Structure 1
Amino acid sequence: MTSRTLRIGLTQWHATTDVEANVATAVRCIERAAEGGAAVVALPENGLMLGTNSEMRAAASGVDGDPVRSLRDAARRFGVVVVLGGMKNTTDDGVFNSALVIDASGEIAGRYDKLHLFDANIGGQSFEASSVEKPGSELVVVDVDGVRLGLTICYDVRFPEVARALAVAGAEVILVPAAFVYATGEAHWHTLLRARAIENLAYVVAPATVRSADPEYTDGFTTYGHALAVGPWGSVLADLGDATEAVEVLELDMAEVEAARAKLPVLGGRRDPSVYASQPRVLSVASSRSVAGGSAKEGAA
């Protein structure tokens, strides 16, 4: 086993429609993580602007806009890799929800566009992400100092095939930056993130936005917080709770991933992809109730 480690900054804050204030918070969190020895700082989805669909559409900007320039400057000043977990990114091909990877020299090293758009109705509130953005079309893995990070965004966590494909491609850490709706977060957040870690025997690091501490404050939608880091055996390593601004630096030891995958070699045990893509056979079997009711065919086995 190797002795590869990665120090990563897990962040959380209350994002609003005030882009300038949100950017200042992001830069502050980057600085705090760098002071704690982080090599990578993971920022949440929609951390630079969180409001209604129309507000977020109006505030969409490109990677050459002032918010991203501020993050690039912070990455360069503090000498860290910054992963902006998701922004409404205006491109020649339309608006995408893009995670940006900014290297320690301040250059944009890569981008992942969110594959799965959150079109849902929760508690009577409609979330129609497809009215704002377009879906991406490819997976992305980033190598940082020999450690591979798989990029996802929020709703992608409900599609386990994404994390599995990233793990098969060598990802040892899966990032799940999020602005998770409070109602679904309370019910599903911890379970989903621990499941993705356990299934793939990988670290899962999930920075998050969180609702305001002020009960009178209302915004586009209320988010759950609880930025989380999970180990490859499923243990919760950090949970930032409902803190409205928080940073925790964790040292992730890739020997833990190697050890877990040696114990349970599930990635190597996968069958040929054609097996999973095949159409399942559907069997019709009579229950005792249907037989007693005379609905089963006579002589059926």
Structure 2
Amino acid sequence: MLTALLQVTSSDDPSENLKMVRALMTEAAGQGAQFILTPEVTNCVSTSTTRQREVLQHEEDDLTLAGLRDHAQALGVWLLIGSLAVKTHDADGRFANRSIMIDPQGQIVARYDKIHMFDVQVTETETFRESRNYRPGDRAVIAETDFGKVGLTVCYDIRFPHLYAALAQAGAHILTVPAAFSPVTGAAHWESLLRARAIENGSWVLAPAQTGEHPKTRGRTRYTYGHSMVVAPWGEVIIDAGTDPGIHIFDLDDSSVSEARRRVPSLTHLRAFDGP
């Protein structure tokens, strides 16, 4: 199954980002892609809470979601919107970082809210407190598709292997990791973490990523690592997209999952234990 990862540099203007993503989807579908994946926060990359409150919407009103659903239907493709930043009805006003799977009829088949919040001090000058503006999800999610079960995760989730083991044990052959990774942690950890999750679970790992310097209206400038990546179930890196925006297409072969899990059936060897 031809599958396309879109590597993009989203701004803090959702309408412009929608135009960009729709154009890339059209191009990818024209090259034969039947499953297309976009990165984390496809609709808006912003470091300004004020700007986010101005442009973000609730899911039921979100123009990016509506536009991408319509376009997936027009193209007849499966679409993973890596994530959208959306408003919630929570009393504290925090947003959700929500990954959404769309079928070729434009219908939503699964939603996943990012569980693990990126609250870290990467360097002396680069600090992130995702939980300040986003509330964490509390449920692991598998999307049922006509090409298999897809386990949905987002970015910082990649550091928590128990989530991926749970998804694989529940039948996922494909694990998605849309991201807007920091250049510092990306250079140090991105490939190693993705390969580890693929190897541990004998699963495809598909990781479409934001890249570069993100145009902004206000707030500090945000930079992301890029290097959208596809890792096969045996751990081979099939695609490393580098840092330029673009489309990266490959053949998603489900038989390689069965082969990897036959050779090292570690998912059948998991045992409960006490302690420490």
Normalising by structure 1, what TM-score?
A: 0.85
Indicate if the aligned counterparts of 2:11 and 2:214 stay in contact, CA closer than 8 A. Answer: no
Count how many residue pairs are aligned between Structure 1 and Structure 2. 267
Is residue 112 of structure 2 the alignment partner of residue 115 of structure 1? Answer: no
Give the superposition deviation at 1:108: 1.8
Indicate if the aligned counterparts of 2:45 and 2:214 stay in contact, CA closer than 8 A. Answer: no
- Classify the secondary structure of the residue corresponding to 1:30: helix
Per-residue deviation, residues 178-222 of structure 1 (Å, max 9, x unmatched): 0001111011111110111011111100000001399xxx95421
Instruction: Provide the rounded CA distance (Å) in 1 between the counterparts of 2:147 and 2:10.
Output: 32
- State how 1:1-301 maps to structure 2 within 5 Å: 6-54=1-49, 55-63=51-59, 64-93=61-90, 95-123=95-123, 124-212=125-213, 220-243=221-244, 245-272=245-272, 275=273, 278-280=274-276
Q: Any unmatched runs of 5+ in structure 1?
A: 1-5, 281-301
Per-residue deviation, residues 222-277 of structure 1 (Å, max 9, x unmatched): 1000000000111110111011x2111211111111011001000001113xx1xx
Give the superposition deviation at 1:57: 4.4
Indicate if the aligned counterparts of 1:53 and 1:128 stay in contact, CA closer than 8 A. Answer: no
Instruction: Provide the rounded CA distance (Å) in 1 between the counterparts of 2:270 and 2:192.
Output: 23
* Greater Cα offset, 218-227 or 121-130: 218-227
- Classify the secondary structure of the residue corresponding to 1:270: coil
Give the superposition deviation at 1:62: 1.9
Indicate if the aligned counterparts of 2:110 and 2:142 stay in contact, CA closer than 8 A. Answer: no
Indicate if the aligned counterparts of 2:73 and 2:104 stay in contact, CA closer than 8 A. Answer: yes
Residue type of the alignment partner of 1:27: R
Percent same amino acid at aligned positions? 37
Say what the alpha-carbon RMSD is for the aligned residues: 1.7
- Classify the secondary structure of the residue corresponding to 1:112: strand
Residue type of the alignment partner of 2:35: V
Give the superposition deviation at 1:28: 1.4
Residue type of the alignment partner of 1:117: M
Indicate if the aligned counterparts of 1:50 and 1:220 stay in contact, CA closer than 8 A. Answer: no
Larger Rg computed on CA atoms: 1
- Classify the secondary structure of the residue corresponding to 2:267: coil
Q: Any unmatched runs of 5+ in structure 2?
A: none
Residue type of the alignment partner of 2:178: P
Give the superposition deviation at 1:92: 2.7
Indicate if the aligned counterparts of 1:57 and 1:132 stay in contact, CA closer than 8 A. Answer: no
Instruction: Provide the rounded CA distance (Å) in 2 between the counterparts of 1:168 and 1:266.
Output: 10
Give the superposition deviation at 1:167: 0.5
1:43–1:90 distance in 2 versus 1, CA, 3 Å: same
1:57–1:127 distance in 2 versus 1, CA, 3 Å: farther
Give the superposition deviation at 1:114: 0.3
Instruction: Provide the rounded CA distance (Å) in 1 between the counterparts of 2:221 and 2:67.
Output: 24
Instruction: Provide the rounded CA distance (Å) in 1 between the counterparts of 2:5 and 2:70.
Output: 19
Runs of 4+ residues over 6 Å off in structure 1? none
Instruction: Provide the rounded CA distance (Å) in 2 between the counterparts of 1:61 and 1:185.
Output: 29
Instruction: Provide the rounded CA distance (Å) in 2 between the counterparts of 1:58 and 1:182.
Output: 27
